[in-house]
């Protein structure tokens, strides 16, 4: 990827369900593109109000009393670290239903909103920011959280609607993004590569139990990857952004147990699946590409 002329910026829109998702999914790629002169915007669909406090050091009465304000402040800090613009879509965290049977989702939450409502909100942002590329989750949400699945549905609907002048005519001038990707993080091959490299280095692996319980009957997202963005230089930026979400990320947890040099050597990319393209591109699982803007650069002359 080469640096862009200042008068021809490419634009990338990354759509996520909750604050902290942007830092755990594709953050190093975003930082890499920002450094290359690409304008990057993160959209967060919900406020993360229903998230638990996963870092014991942050589990205080003050934080518990203002989770909304805390998570907004964390998101602002993470966006600054990544160098991205940020927008809230403005919907309420649905929470992750647990139990057997699972309880119903709370009224008014993001996952229960009529699809047209958040779609129009995202179309408005797409038409304002005018991204060439959109990144979101696959149909499984990356994992089956109702907000992640809804984020996929809204992103796909907005991709199709943003360029149509007959859809949401009050939401701005039409703009058609050219490509849409799904971000794919923890394939079995990636987890296994880290596990084996840690053992070979004489280190304890935090992935042993995960691999023992791996459900091979579920499709592996690694089999869908078409594009691998080299971004290991920015893994430390990603980790700093993760730590900014202090209520959600335990600095002593699994995220940070793999030495940085090992991460950079074993798996130096973040991985994506090309789901929609209106430009010519040769990205496939058998011959993965290395640039989310492949074919776009030629179209826009960047």
Confidence check: pLDDT of 2 > 50: no
Domain membership of residue 198 (yes or no) is no
Domain membership of residue 157 (yes or no) is yes
Distance CA 87, CA 141 (A): 20
What is the average per-residue pLDDT within 77-99?
Answer: 96
Q: What CA–CA distances, in Å, run from 21 to 31, 58, 104, 241? A: 15, 18, 24, 10
pLDDT at 98: 87
Ramachandran sector of residue 48 (left: φ over 0; alpha: ψ -120 to 50; beta: rest): left
Domain membership of residue 79 (yes or no) is yes
Q: What are the tens digits of pLDDT across the range 168-179? A: 999 999 999 999
Could you tell me which residue, 57 or 229, shows the higher pLDDT?
Answer: 229
Domain membership of residue 209 (yes or no) is no
User: Does 21 count as an annotated binding residue?
Assistant: yes
What is the average per-residue pLDDT within 63-92?
Answer: 96
What is the average per-residue pLDDT within 149-169?
Answer: 98
Number of domains within the chain = 1
Confidence check: pLDDT of 7 > 70: no
Domain membership of residue 35 (yes or no) is yes
Contacts of 252 (CB under 8 A, 6+ apart): none
User: Does 148 count as an annotated binding residue?
Assistant: yes
User: Does 138 count as an annotated binding residue?
Assistant: no
Confidence check: pLDDT of 263 > 70: yes
CB-based contact 142:13 (threshold 8 Å)? no
CB-based contact 82:22 (threshold 8 Å)? yes
Output the domain CATH number for residue 117: 3.40.50.10320
Q: Which domain holds residue 109?
A: 11-187+222-300
Contacts of 141 (CB under 8 A, 6+ apart): 17, 147, 148, 149, 151, 152
Tokens of 42: 């993160």
């Amino acid at each position: 990827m080469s640096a862009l002329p200042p008068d021809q910026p490419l634009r990338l829109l990354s759509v996520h369900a909750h604050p902290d998702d942007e830092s755990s999914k594709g953050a190093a790629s975003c930082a890499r593109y920002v450094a290359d002169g690409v304008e990057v915007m993160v959209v967060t669909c919900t406020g993360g109000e229903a998230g638990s406090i996963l870092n014991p050091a942050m589990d205080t009465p003050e934080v518990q009393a203002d989770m909304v304000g805390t998570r907004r402040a964390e998101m602002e800090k993470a966006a600054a670290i990544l160098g991205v613009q940020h927008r809230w879509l403005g919907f309420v965290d649905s929470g992750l239903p647990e139990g057997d049977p699972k309880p119903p989702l709370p009224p008014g939450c993001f996952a229960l909103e009529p699809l047209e409502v958040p779609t129009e909100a995202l179309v408005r942002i797409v038409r304002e920011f005018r991204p060439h590329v959109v990144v979101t989750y696959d149909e499984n949400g990356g994992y089956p959280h109702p907000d992640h699945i809804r984020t996929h549905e809204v992103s796909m609907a907005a991709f199709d609607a943003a360029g149509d002048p007959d859809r949401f005519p009050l939401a701005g001038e039409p703009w058609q993004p050219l490509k849409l990707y799904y971000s794919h993080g923890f394939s079995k091959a990636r987890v296994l590569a880290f596990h084996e490299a840690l053992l070979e280095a004489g280190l304890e692996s935090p992935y042993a139990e995960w691999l023992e319980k791996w459900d091979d009957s579920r499709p592996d997202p690694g089999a869908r990857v078409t594009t691998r963005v080299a971004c290991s230089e920015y893994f430390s930026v990603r980790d700093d952004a993760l730590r900014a979400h202090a209520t959600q990320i335990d600095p002593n947890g699994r995220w940070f147990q793999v030495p940085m040099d090992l991460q950079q050597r074993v798996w130096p990319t973040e991985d994506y699946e090309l789901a929609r393209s209106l430009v010519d591109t040769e990205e496939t699982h058998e011959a993965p590409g290395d640039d989310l803007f492949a074919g776009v650069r030629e179209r826009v002359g960047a």
